[in-house]
DNA sequence: AAGGAACTTGAAGGCATCCTCAAGTTAAGG
DNA sequence: CCTTAACTTGAGGATGCCTTCAAGTTCCTT
């Protein structure tokens, strides 16, 4: 964990402590309210003023990049475990299930996976890695003849967006309700169930534009400094 | 169309004209921005002041109830047509596809179907009717042995929430992208593809609570007068 | 045509959030 | 201990949206 300021010098001890408190407060607040929780709320939980928050994290995206990186690493671990599964299909199914579960228990990670915010260097890198994992898991399961051959990484992202909406609705009242749709989707992803899809998949560019559209659709768009 | 005021007397002619303009402006604005478009924007499009909007529609939910009822009727027509289809499975598939398509081309109807706003008398009634249709379509397709037997109306609502998120992301860049997930879901809904779902379905009460949770998740909650 | 009720207007008050900055406080090094 | 740079603070300006209302305008009735 990098505890030095922009000039390279280490932060003063009180500043380090406040930074740690802010990160922890943000993590908790993100879990409960998602990545667009008011910054005042985070500062309040951390027991510092909002000015201090701005001193440590010049804008929200820097805070997000710092806090959600851990969550993102969690999803990478899930992917690695899935790739280690000798059964390609089961590895893929477990992967999707655990990503969905991660979304269900942490609205912050939902936002990290959905990427409903401006580009952030660390998350971007983790995300690229995650994409690569997903691609491998998908292709492996397809080569094994178990996953429908027309399924793409873009489709997986679409499923994550969908599940995010589902858990946003049902998370509080029935925390495991997403599992029903998960099962239905899995049944639709088996190669044995597949009927051909006429519509072409989104390319990388379209996917990125769609991601940005999500960012502005929920609440006001985030400003860049 | 009821053009009289609360006292029963008909509205003055200029007021009638303004009311009609407001409804049309709101309809267009809802299509493009969804049901939480700023009221200023609607008034601007209608060429009247925001005060006039408040004179005709004391709060947003009244406006929504008025404007989105037509969209809701459209979805009821879709359901009726689907029920008229002699093939129960094809009727169900067409129904879902056309609901999704409706969501894709009108963010207002997305909100009407998702019911991301306070209770409104006319919409509530239309919605109850829609539920009944959906139930019939589902049961009919299940009796024919084509639709998986564990699928419920609550699951269908979940699919609508999911699709709403999907079209919110992809609607601008690839207006038909939702069709991919639609196909996948349909493949998962065939009785022939179904594996049992351990998780129980939401009951009516949970569904209603989930609906309300959606309302507050996107942006600030709506106030009642 | 004139009176009066109905209607419209837009400025103003609220509220929530973002973001900044001048003044005050504290840690670190000599 | 003293100095100074680093840090914190919280009030306050800015923004965007909601909602009200006193003053002005338009329509309807007689």
Say what percent of chain A tops pLDDT 90.
Answer: 67
Count CB-CB contacts under 10 A for residue A191.
16
Residue to substitute from B36, B89, B180, interface A, most A β-carbons within 10 A: B180
Averaged pLDDT for residues A29-35: 91
A53-94 confidence digits (pLDDT tens) = 999 999 888 999 899 888 888 899 999 999 999 999 999 999
Residue B155 CA: distances (Å) to CA of A176, A181, B82, B198, B209? 13, 7, 18, 14, 15
CA–C1' A58–C19 (A): 10
Contact B158 A180 (CB under 8 A): yes
Write down the pLDDT at residue B224: 43
Between B85 and A224, residue with greater pLDDT: B85
User: Which residues of chain A have a CB within 8 Å of the CB of B210?
Assistant: 169-170, 172-174, 177
Cβ of B220 less than 7 A from strand C = yes
Among the residue ranges A91-105, A127-141, B119-133, B170-184, the one predicted with the least confidence is B119-133
Inspect the interface and report whether the beta carbons of B184 and A189 lie closer than 8 Å: yes
Count of CB pairs separated by less than 8 Å, A with B: 169
pLDDT in tens, B176-192: 999 999 999 999 999 99
pLDDT at B208: 86
**pLDDT for residue A173:** 92
Residues A122-146: what's their mean pLDDT?
A: 93
Name the phi and psi angles at A220, rounded to 5: -80, 150
Q: How many CB atoms lie within 10 A of CB A125?
A: 12
The more confident residue out of B220 and B201 is B201
Tokens of B84: 């008229």
pLDDT range class, residue A171, cuts 50, 70, 90 = confident
Q: For A32-36, A96-100, A211-215, B57-61, which range has the lowest pLDDT when averaged over its residues?
A: A211-215
């Amino acid at each position: 964990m990098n505890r030095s300021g922009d000039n390279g010098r280490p932060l003063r001890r009180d500043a380090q402590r406040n930074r740690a408190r802010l990160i922890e407060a943000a993590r908790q607040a993100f879990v409960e309210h998602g990545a667009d929780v008011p910054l005042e709320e985070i500062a309040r939980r951390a027991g510092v003023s909002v000015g201090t928050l701005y001193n440590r994290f010049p804008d929200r995206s820097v805070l997000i990049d710092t806090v959600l990186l851990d969550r993102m690493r969690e999803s990478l671990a899930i992917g690695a475990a899935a790739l280690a599964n000798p059964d390609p299909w089961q590895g893929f199914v477990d992967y999707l299930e655990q990503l969905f579960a991660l979304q269900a228990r942490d609205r912050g990670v939902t936002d990290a996976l959905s990427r409903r915010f401006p580009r952030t260097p660390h998350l971007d890198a983790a995300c690229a890695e995650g994409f690569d994992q997903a691609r491998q898991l998908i292709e492996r399961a397809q080569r094994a003849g178990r996953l429908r051959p027309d399924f793409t990484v873009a489709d997986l992202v679409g499923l994550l967006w969908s599940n995010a909406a589902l858990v946003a609705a049902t998370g509080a009242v029935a925390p495991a309700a997403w599992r029903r749709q998960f099962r239905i989707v899995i049944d639709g992803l088996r190669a044995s169930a597949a009927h051909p899809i006429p519509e072409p998949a989104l390319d990388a560019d379209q996917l990125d534009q769609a991601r940005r559209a999500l960012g502005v659709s929920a609440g006001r768009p985030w400003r860049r400094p």
